[in-house]
C-alpha cells in the first residue's frame, strides 16, 4: 500500500468520525474506502467528494452515509459526491436493494408511471434490468424517457451501466412472487429505517448534551475572520507562509501547561484535501481557559503563519485567530407581542410520519417567545402527557388537539331527487375527460354520452372540446387524447350548449357523478344556463349499495362482474357506453330490492358500513375547555373502536354529538374546504366552510406536492386558492389562520421524515411525490410565506388570528393531580375470587398460612386504595395479549405482588422460596433466608405421592408494594412493526374497559 493511499484511507475514517458514523457495521463496510480527492468551488461554497469503495455497499448504509454527509456540511458547504467502485459486480439482490431508492430520485415522472415502477421489483439478467409494463405505450415511455436517467442514477452509487428493458405483462398475478418479495423487503426496510433514525437522533441528542459545558455561542479566539477571507485548501499549503486562512474538521486536540507557565494548544484539522497541525501559545489566563474549549469534532476557521517545525519535522501552523463555524440557530425575529402561534403540529405519535420530539418542539416554541403551541397528531392523543410536562417546564400554554379523519355519514346515490318511475324513464349516461381534477381551474376536453331508453342504447353524443392549453403528460397517458386531437375541436361552451339541448329533462347518469357533474355545472353556469336541474344517479355509489362485497367498484370491475364489455377504458364514449349497459343491469337489481323511484335511492344512505365507503377528510379538533378535552378523548376512542377502517374515522354526526368545547379547524389540503376550493367551486367551498370554527391555510411549500401531482396547475393557481379561502373567511366571518402542518423542527430534519416515509414504500401515498417542507416556522418565516396576500393580510392570518384562536382556549390539564381509578362493577370481588381461586388450585383448599396472610394483606391494600380495577385491567390485557400470541413481560413493582402472580399478570412468584407438589398440593417454605431463590432449590420428589414437586418463589428485591400510593403496570408487549397499530387496537377492543390504556410496545425485529 502506498503512503498516499493509506493517507486517503485515514482521511476517510476521519470523515466517518465527523459524520458520527462510527458503529461497527459502518466501519466494517467502509474499511477500504478512501477519499480520492475533493474539489472545492470557493465562491459557490460547493464541495465535491470523490470516494473510492471496494464494492457497492448496502443501500441503507449508503443512504445514511449521504444523509449525514449532507447534514454535517450543511453550514459549511453544499456537498455532492461521486462513488468510484473497484469491484462492480452486481446481483439481482443488490439492484433490488437500491431499486426504490433510485426510483425515488427520478425527477418529474408522471404519477402512474412512478407507481408502476414503485410497485414492482425488476428481473435482472446480467446488467440488464427487465421491467413489467401494462402496455406497449408504457414500455416506450419508460424506455425512451427514463431508462437513461435511471441508469445514471444507479451509476452514481457505483453501479456499472445498466440497460433497461420492458416486457408487457397484463396479468398482474404473474407478479405475485415479486409482490411477496417486495412486501418482505418493505418490512425489512421499515425496520432498518426506524433503527437508523433512532440511532441518528440519539447521536444528535448526545451531541447536544455534550455541548453542555461549552459556551453558548461559537468559539472565537483572537480576531473575527471575515466571511470573504481567502480560504486556502490545505493541499495548497506546501511551503512556509506569513499569513493564510484555512478551515477544517478538528480530529485531534490537546492542551499542555508549559514550564514557562503558558499553555500550549495543539490541534489537527483536515479539509479532506490534506491536514495540518495548528499550535497556539496562550498570552494570558483568559486565553488558556478558552483553549480548553477547542475539542475534537468542531469545524474551525484558522488564520496564522505556516512554519517549518523542527520538532515535528513538518509544516505547522502557528494560529492567531480561530473562529468556530456552527450551524446557525433559527430565531423568531418578530417583536414581543407580535409572535405567531402554531396551531397544527405533529409529533412522533403521528405514526411513521413526524419525527421531532414533543419536548423539543414545545421548548423551541417557548424559546421563540410564542405564548402557546398546539399538538395535533393524526387521530391520537398519546403525546399529551409529554406535551403537558414540556409545557410546564417551559412555561408555555399547550393547546390539546388532534387531526382527525372526518367522514360523511353516507354518500348519496342520487342528486336532485325526483319522484320519477325508474323503469319508464330516459337516461343520459355520460362521461367527461378533462385537463385535470379541478372543475374550477381545469376544463373539459371530451364529452361523450349515450341515451338509454327501455333497456337499450338509442342515441349517442360525442365531441372533443378545445382547452386552449397544452395537455399534461399524465392526461395524455391516462386518456389517450393528444394535443392535435383537441386543437381544432369546437369551443367547450358550444359543446355544452349542444349537449344541454340534446339531454332535455332526462335523468343524468355518471360513474362517480359528483366529479362529472362538477364540470358540467361549472361549465353550464359560465354560459348562463345555470346549474342543471335534472335528477342524477351515481353508478359508483349505486354499485356500492347493490354489491357491498366487491373489493372495489371501479368501472372495469363492475363491467366484469355484470358481464359488460369494456374496450378502450378511459376513452369517454366507450366508458359511457359501458356505464349505460351497467346501469341497465343495475336498475333491474335495484327494482328487485324494491327501489322503483328515483327519490327512493338515498333511503339506504348511511346504513351498515357507510363510514367505510366515504372518503375521509382531515379536520383539526382543538379542545377549548376541560369538557371539550373529555369529548376529544371520547371521539378518539369511538373512532378507534367503532369506525376504524384503514384509519380511525369520525362520522360527521358523531362529531356533532360531541362537539361541545371543541374548536374545529379545516386542516390541510386533505381537508374538505381546501379540496372543494381546489376542485369544485367557491359556492360549494362556502357550504363546506360553514361547518368550521376557523379556516386553515398553509404556506405554499406545504402544498407543493399538489403541483407535482398536477392537482393544481401552478403556483399562481395555488395562491388563488389560498386567497379565495381568505376571502371566504371574511365573508363568513370566520378567522383564517396560517398554520404550518409541522412534522419536524428544523428544515434539515426533513431527511429523517424522508427515511421514515420512504421505508413504507407504495403503501404510503406520500411516496408518490416529493415531500413538502413542513418544519416549524418562525413568525417572520411565516409572514414571508404569505407576503403575496399583502403585508396587512399576512399579519392578520399569521399573528392576529393565531393568537385569537389560542386565546379562545382555556388552560387545560390533561393529567390530573389526584388519582382517578376507572370503575368496573364488581372488580373488587372479582379480584378476590380470582386470587383465591388460583391460590387454592396451586396450594390446596386449605391455604398455607404464609399464602393466606400475604393474599389478605395485599388484597386489603389493593381494594382499599381502589386499585382492584387496575389489576383487573392488567389481567385482561395480559390474557388477551397472550391469547393473541404476543409476548408479555412485566417490570417494576408488579414483580413484588403476589396477587399479580395469582391473577396471572406476572409469572414471578414473590413468596419465599418453596416447593409445592402439583398433585397433592403440599408445600414446604424456606422463609429463614437460607435459600436465595426457589430456582436454586435441589430437585425433589413429593414424599406423599412421589411425583416431582414444583420449585417456586423468588424473594423479590423490591419491597412488597403494600404501602400503595401509586401503582404502575408497565406492560411490555412485543410485536413486529407491522402490528404496531394493531396491538393497541386489539387490546382496546378486548378490554371492554372504559379507560385509556397506555401500552408500551416494543419492536421485535
Ligand atoms: Zn392533514
Ligand atoms: Zn397535519
Question: In this predicted model, what pLDDT tens digit does every residue of 46-78 receive, in sequence order?
Answer: 999 999 999 998 888 888 898 889 888 988 889
Mean model confidence pLDDT for the chain: 85
Residue 791, C-beta contacts closer than 8 angstroms, at least 6 positions apart: none
Compute the distance between CA of residue 519 and CA of residue 513 in angstroms, rounded to an integer: 10
Look up 775 and say whether it is catalytic.
no
Average pLDDT in the 931-954 region? 70
- What pLDDT is recorded for position 204? 66
Residue 310 burial (CB count, 10 A): 8
- What pLDDT is recorded for position 994? 30
Residue 48, C-beta contacts closer than 8 angstroms, at least 6 positions apart: 38, 39, 40, 41, 79, 80, 81, 82
- What pLDDT is recorded for position 218? 84
**Cα-to-centroid distance, 363 and ligand 1 (Å):** 23
- What pLDDT is recorded for position 1004? 45
What nine digits make up the cell of 477? 397517458
- What pLDDT is recorded for position 908? 77
- What pLDDT is recorded for position 347? 94
**Cα-to-centroid distance, 180 and ligand 1 (Å):** 31
Least confident of 169-178, 363-372, 451-460, 888-897: 169-178
pLDDT over 70 for what percent of the chain? 89
Which residue blocks in 492-554 are alpha helix, DSSP H?
492-503, 513-526, 539-546
**Cα-to-centroid distance, 361 and ligand 1 (Å):** 18
Average pLDDT in the 200-217 region? 59
- What pLDDT is recorded for position 178? 62
Ligand nearest to the CA of 405: 1
* Residue 832 pLDDT grade (very low, low, confident, very high; cuts 50, 70, 90): very high
Ligand nearest to the CA of 647: 1
Average pLDDT in the 121-138 region? 86
Which of the pair, 287 or 94, is modelled with greater confidence? 94
* Residue 206 pLDDT grade (very low, low, confident, very high; cuts 50, 70, 90): low
**Cα-to-centroid distance, 345 and ligand 2 (Å):** 7
**Cα-to-centroid distance, 671 and ligand 1 (Å):** 7
Compute the distance between CA of residue 566 and CA of residue 578 in angstroms, rounded to an integer: 6
pLDDT at 593 > cutoff 90: no
Ligand nearest to the CA of 350: 2
- Residue 619 near residue 406, CB atoms below 8 Å: yes
Compute the distance between CA of residue 922 and CA of residue 369 in angstroms, rounded to an integer: 70
- Residue 406 near residue 672, CB atoms below 8 Å: yes
Which residue blocks in 409-486 are alpha helix, DSSP H?
473-479, 483-486
pTM: 0.70
Average pLDDT in the 906-931 region? 81
Average pLDDT in the 807-832 region? 88
- What pLDDT is recorded for position 805? 97
pLDDT at 930 > cutoff 50: yes
Instruction: Name the strand (E) or helix (H) holding 863.
Output: helix 849-864
Ligand nearest to the CA of 774: 2
* SS3 labels along 359-384: HHHHHHHHHCCCCEEEEEEECCCCCH
- Given the C-alpha cell 418529474, which residue does it identify? 108
Which whole-number Å values give the CA distances from 820 to 326, 635, 823, in the listed order? Answer: 49, 20, 9
Residue 570 has what DSSP assignment?
A: T
**Cα-to-centroid distance, 377 and ligand 1 (Å):** 9
| Residue of 645, 676, 674, 642 whose CA lies nearest to 658 | 642
| Residue of 911, 921, 915 whose CA lies nearest to 956 | 911
* SS3 labels along 608-675: CCHHHHCCCEEEEEEECCHHHHHHHHHHHHHHHHCCEECEECEEHHHHHHCCCCEEEECCCCCCHHHH
Cα four-point dihedral sign 764, 769, 771, 773: negative
Compute the distance between CA of residue 249 and CA of residue 328 in angstroms, rounded to an integer: 17
- What pLDDT is recorded for position 782? 97
pLDDT at 614 > cutoff 50: yes
Average pLDDT in the 607-618 region? 83
* Residue 763 pLDDT grade (very low, low, confident, very high; cuts 50, 70, 90): low
Which of the pair, 249 or 958, is modelled with greater confidence? 249
- What pLDDT is recorded for position 993? 33
**Cα-to-centroid distance, 648 and ligand 1 (Å):** 14
pLDDT at 209 > cutoff 70: no
What nine digits make up the cell of 365? 416554541
Q: In this structure, what is the dihedral angle of CA atoms 297, 303, 305, 307, given to the nearest 10 degrees?
A: 10
* Residue 785 pLDDT grade (very low, low, confident, very high; cuts 50, 70, 90): very high
Compute the distance between CA of residue 18 and CA of residue 31 in angstroms, rounded to an integer: 16
Least confident of 505-509, 751-755, 812-816: 751-755
* Residue 2 pLDDT grade (very low, low, confident, very high; cuts 50, 70, 90): low
| Residue of 495, 514, 500 whose CA lies nearest to 437 | 514
* Residue 446 pLDDT grade (very low, low, confident, very high; cuts 50, 70, 90): very high
Helix axes 92-104, 147-156, angle to 10 degrees: 110
| Beta-bridge partners for 715 | none
Q: Alpha-carbon Rg of the chain, whole angstroms?
A: 35
Give residue-wise pLDDT tens across range 503-550.
Answer: 999 999 999 998 899 899 989 988 998 889 999 999 998 998 888 888
Q: Is 450 helix (H, G, I), strand (E, B) or coil?
A: strand
Q: Is 348 helix (H, G, I), strand (E, B) or coil?
A: coil
* Residue 995 pLDDT grade (very low, low, confident, very high; cuts 50, 70, 90): very low
**Cα-to-centroid distance, 742 and ligand 2 (Å):** 7
Give residue-wise pLDDT tens across range 371-416.
Answer: 999 999 999 999 999 999 999 999 999 999 999 999 998 788 999 9
pLDDT at 961 > cutoff 50: no
Average pLDDT in the 124-139 region? 86
- What pLDDT is recorded for position 976? 54
| Residue of 720, 723, 716, 719 whose CA lies nearest to 695 | 723
Q: From the candidates 48, 101, 127, 570, which is the catalytic residue?
A: 570
- What pLDDT is recorded for position 890? 64
DSSP assignment of 103-170 equals HHT-SS--HHHHHHHHT---EEETTEEEEEESSHHHHHHIIIIIHHHHHHHHHHTTPPPPEEEEEE--
Give residue-wise pLDDT tens across range 864-880.
Answer: 888 888 888 888 888 88
What nine digits make up the cell of 732? 363568513
Which of the pair, 246 or 993, is modelled with greater confidence? 246
- What pLDDT is recorded for position 177? 62
- What pLDDT is recorded for position 762? 63
How distant is the alpha carbon of residue 719 from its chain centre? 26
Ligand nearest to the CA of 354: 2
pLDDT at 8 > cutoff 50: yes
Residue 29, C-beta contacts closer than 8 angstroms, at least 6 positions apart: 57, 58, 61
Amino acid at each position: 500500500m502506498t503512503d498516499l493511499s493509506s493517507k486517503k484511507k485515514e482521511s476517510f475514517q476521519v470523515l466517518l468520525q465527523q459524520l458520527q458514523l462510527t458503529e461497527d457495521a459502518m466501519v466494517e463496510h467502509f474499511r477500504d474506502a478512501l477519499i480520492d480527492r475533493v474539489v472545492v468551488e470557493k465562491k459557490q461554497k460547493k464541495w465535491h467528494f470523490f470516494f473510492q469503495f471496494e464494492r457497492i455497499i448496502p443501500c441503507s448504509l449508503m443512504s445514511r452515509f449521504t444523509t449525514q454527509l449532507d447534514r454535517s456540511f450543511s453550514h459549511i458547504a453544499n456537498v455532492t459526491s461521486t462513488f468510484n467502485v473497484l469491484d462492480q459486480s452486481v446481483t439481482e439482490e443488490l439492484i433490488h436493494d437500491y431499486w426504490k431508492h433510485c426510483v425515488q430520485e427520478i425527477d418529474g415522472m408522471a404519477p402512474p408511471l412512478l407507481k408502476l415502477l414503485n410497485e414492482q421489483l425488476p428481473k435482472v439478467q446480467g446488467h440488464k434490468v427487465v421491467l413489467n409494463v401494462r402496455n406497449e405505450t408504457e414500455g416506450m415511455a419508460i424506455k425512451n424517457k427514463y431508462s437513461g436517467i435511471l441508469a445514471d442514477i444507479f451509476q452514481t452509487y457505483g453501479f456499472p451501466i445498466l440497460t433497461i428493458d420492458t416486457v408487457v405483462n397484463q396479468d398482474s398475478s404473474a407478479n405475485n412472487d415479486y409482490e411477496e418479495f417486495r412486501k418482505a423487503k418493505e418490512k425489512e426496510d421499515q425496520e432498518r429505517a426506524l433503527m437508523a433514525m433512532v440511532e441518528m437522533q440519539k447521536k444528535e441528542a448526545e451531541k447536544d448534551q455534550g455541548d453542555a459545558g461549552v459556551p453558548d455561542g461559537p468559539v472565537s479566539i483572537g480576531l473575527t475572520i471575515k466571511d470573504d477571507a481567502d480560504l486556502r485548501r490545505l493541499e495548497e499549503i506546501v511551503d512556509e507562509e506569513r499569513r493564510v486562512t484555512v478551515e477544517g474538521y478538528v480530529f485531534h486536540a490537546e492542551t499542555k501547561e508549559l514550564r514557562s507557565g503558558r499553555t500550549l494548544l495543539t490541534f489537527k484539522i483536515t479539509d479532506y484535501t490534506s491536514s495540518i497541525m495548528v499550535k497556539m501559545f496562550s498570552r494570558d489566563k483568559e486565553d488558556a481557559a478558552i483553549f480548553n474549549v477547542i475539542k475534537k469534532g468542531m469545524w474551525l476557521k484558522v488564520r496564522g503563519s505556516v512554519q517549518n517545525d523542527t520538532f515535528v519535522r513538518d509544516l505547522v501552523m502557528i494560529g492567531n485567530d480561530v473562529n468556530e463555524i456552527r450551524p446557525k440557530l433559527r430565531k423568531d425575529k418578530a417583536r414581543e407581542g407580535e409572535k405567531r402561534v402554531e396551531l397544527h403540529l405533529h409529533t412522533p405519535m403521528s405514526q411513521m410520519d413526524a419525527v421531532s420530539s414533543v419536548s423539543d418542539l414545545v421548548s423551541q416554541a417557548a424559546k421563540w417567545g410564542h405564548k402557546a403551541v398546539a399538538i395535533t397528531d393524526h387521530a391520537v392523543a398519546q403525546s399529551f402527557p409529554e406535551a403537558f410536562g414540556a409545557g410546564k417546564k417551559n412555561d408555555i400554554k399547550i393547546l390539546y388537539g388532534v387531526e382527525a379523519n372526518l367522514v360523511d355519514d353516507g354518500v348519496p346515490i342520487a342528486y336532485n331527487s325526483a319522484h320519477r318511475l325508474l323503469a319508464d324513464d330516459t337516461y343520459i349516461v355520460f362521461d367527461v375527460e378533462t385537463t385535470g381534477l379541478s372543475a374550477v381551474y381545469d376544463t373539459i376536453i371530451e364529452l361523450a354520452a349515450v341515451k338509454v331508453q327501455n333497456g337499450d342504447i338509442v342515441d349517442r353524443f360525442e365531441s372533443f372540446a378545445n382547452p386552449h392549453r397544452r395537455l399534461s403528460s399524465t392526461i395524455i397517458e391516462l386518456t389517450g387524447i393528444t394535443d392535435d386531437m383537441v386543437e381544432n375541436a369546437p369551443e367547450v361552451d358550444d359543446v355544452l350548449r349542444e349537449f344541454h339541448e340534446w339531454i332535455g329533462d332526462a335523468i343524468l347518469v355518471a360513474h362517480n357523478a359528483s366529479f362529472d357533474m362538477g364540470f358540467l355545472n361549472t361549465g353550464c353556469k359560465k354560459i348562463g344556463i345555470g346549474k342543471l336541474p335534472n335528477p342524477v344517479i351515481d353508478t359508483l355509489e349505486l354499485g356500492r349499495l347493490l354489491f357491498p362485497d366487491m373489493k372495489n367498484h371501479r368501472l372495469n370491475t363492475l363491467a366484469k362482474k355484470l358481464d359488460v364489455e369494456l374496450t378502450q377504458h378511459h376513452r369517454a364514449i366507450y366508458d359511457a357506453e359501458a356505464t349505460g349497459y351497467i346501469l341497465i343491469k343495475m336498475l333491474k337489481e335495484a327494482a328487485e330490492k324494491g327501489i322503483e323511484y328515483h327519490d327512493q335511492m338515498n333511503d339506504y344512505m348511511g346504513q351498515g358500513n357507510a363510514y367505510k365507503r366515504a372518503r375521509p377528510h382531515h379536520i383539526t379538533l382543538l379542545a377549548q375547555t376541560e369538557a371539550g378535552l373529555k369529548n376529544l378523548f371520547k371521539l378518539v376512542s369511538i373512532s378507534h373502536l367503532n369506525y376504524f377502517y384503514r384509519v380511525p374515522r369520525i362520522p360527521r354526526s358523531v362529531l356533532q354529538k360531541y362537539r361541545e368545547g371543541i374548536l374545529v379547524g379545516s386542516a390541510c389540503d386533505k381537508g374538505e374546504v381546501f379540496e372543494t376550493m381546489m376542485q369544485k367551486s367557491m359556492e360549494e367551498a362556502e357550504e363546506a366552510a360553514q361547518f368550521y370554527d376557523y379556516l386553515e391555510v398553509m404556506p405554499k411549500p406545504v402544498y407543493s406536492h399538489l403541483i407535482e401531482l398536477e392537482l393544481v396547475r401552478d403556483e399562481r393557481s395555488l395562491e388563488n386558492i389560498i386567497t379565495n379561502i381568505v376571502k371566504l373567511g371574511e365573508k363568513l366571518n370566520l378567522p383564517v389562520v396560517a398554520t404550518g402542518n409541522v412534522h419536524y423542527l428544523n428544515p434539515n430534519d426533513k431527511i429523517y421524515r424522508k427515511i421514515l416515509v420512504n421505508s413504507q414504500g407504495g403503501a404510503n401515498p406520500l411516496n408518490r411525490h416529493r415531500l413538502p417542507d413542513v418544519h416549524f416556522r418562525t413568525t417572520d418565516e411565516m409572514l414571508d410565506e404569505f407576503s403575496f396576500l399583502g403585508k396587512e393580510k399576512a399579519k392578520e392570518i399569521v399573528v392576529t388570528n393565531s393568537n385569537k384562536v389560542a386565546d379562545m382556549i382555556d388552560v387545560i390539564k390533561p393529567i390530573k393531580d389526584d388519582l382517578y381509578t376507572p370503575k368496573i362493577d364488581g372488580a373488587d370481588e372479582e379480584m378476590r375470587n380470582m386470587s383465591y381461586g388460583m391460590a387454592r388450585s396451586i396450594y390446596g383448599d386449605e391455604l398455607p398460612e404464609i399464602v393466606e396472610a400475604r393474599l389478605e394483606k395485599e388484597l386489603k391494600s389493593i381494594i382499599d386504595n381502589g386499585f382492584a380495577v387496575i389489576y383487573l385491567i392488567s389481567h385482561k390485557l395480559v390474557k388477551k395479549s397472550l391469547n393473541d400470541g404476543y409476548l408479555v413481560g412485566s417490570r417494576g413493582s408488579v414483580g413484588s405482588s403476589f396477587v399479580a402472580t395469582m391473577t396471572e399478570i406476572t409469572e414471578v412468584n414473590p413468596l419465599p422460596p418453596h416447593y409445592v407438589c402439583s398433585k397433592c398440593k403440599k408445600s414446604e417454605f424456606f422463609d429463614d433466608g437460607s435459600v436465595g431463590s426457589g430456582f436454586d432449590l435441589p430437585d425433589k420428589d413429593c414424599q406423599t405421592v412421589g411425583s416431582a414437586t414444583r420449585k417456586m418463589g423468588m424473594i423479590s428485591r423490591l419491597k412488597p408494594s403494600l404501602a400503595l400510593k401509586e401503582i404502575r403496570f408497565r406492560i411490555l408487549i412485543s410485536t413486529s412493526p407491522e402490528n404496531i397499530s394493531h396491538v393497541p387496537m386489539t387490546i382496546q377492543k378486548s378490554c371492554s374497559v372504559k379507560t385509556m390504556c397506555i401500552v408500551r410496545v416494543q419492536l421485535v425485529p
